[in-house]
Structure 1
Amino acid sequence: MNALAKAVAQVGKFDLANPKHLAMRRILAHVYVDHVINLDLGVLPNVESAFNQAVGINSAALWCLEDDINLWKLSGAVVDHMKTLLEAYEARRWHESSNRSG
């Protein structure tokens, strides 16, 4: 089980009957996919934009939606995973560039 799946499993019940939860899930999925596609393409401004959107969603879940803590934890898990993917991408780029130059 990957880190994101573990984090989501720890969140508890994510109520898809709740319209806020369902809408947030759709938005998070869109932002996550945008992040991954742009990492794959190496379009870093779009990666940063997607990451910032996820951070904004996480803040909105906590401060604006006044929802239970599960939605905040889920969006936080997505943000953490996106950060991990970006760090892995940057490490791979650094490793590839150091192999070419040396």
Structure 2
Amino acid sequence: MMSTQTTAATEPQFDLSNPQHLAMRKLMADVYSNHANALLCGVEKSAIAYRGMGQGLERVALYVIADPVLVSLSASLNFAMFYMEELYRARAEA
């Protein structure tokens, strides 16, 4: 059986020499930190709004910038925020 281990070299990464990647990286970091802070403060509606902003960034990466690396990175961000909300809800119900 072959190993399907993923290494950092095969994962999409920001190209820090690309101004669009730098700008998107900052926006994604802002959205992620605001989302996490909203959950920490117990304001789920705000967290959902920030996840919506992340979805908007994914659409910009796909339809405006047309950069598959940014699409992949922003999709990963959105999955992470979705699962953070799921964990928040599970913890709130416990």
Give, in angstroms, the shift of residue 10 of structure 1.
4.6
**Cα distance between partner residues in 1 of 2:71 and 2:66:** 10
- Percent identity at matched positions? 34
- TM-score normalized by structure 2? 0.86
- TM-score normalized by structure 1? 0.80
Structure with the larger RCO, 1 or 2 (CA within 8 Å, 6+ apart): 1
**Cα distance between partner residues in 1 of 2:36 and 2:76:** 15
Aligned residues: 88
Deviations 1:7-50 (A, max 9, x none): x8753342011000000000000000000000000112210110
AA in 1 matched with 2:58:
N
**Cα distance between partner residues in 1 of 2:22 and 2:91:** 35
**Cα distance between partner residues in 2 of 1:35 and 1:9:** 28
**Which structure shows the higher helix fraction?**
1
Residue 3 of structure 2 corresponds to: none
**Cα distance between partner residues in 2 of 1:92 and 1:24:** 31
Residue 81 of structure 1 corresponds to: 80
Aligned Cα root-mean-square deviation (Å)? 1.7
User: Where does structure 2 lack aligned partners over 5 or more consecutive residues?
Assistant: 1-5
Residue 20 of structure 1 corresponds to: 20
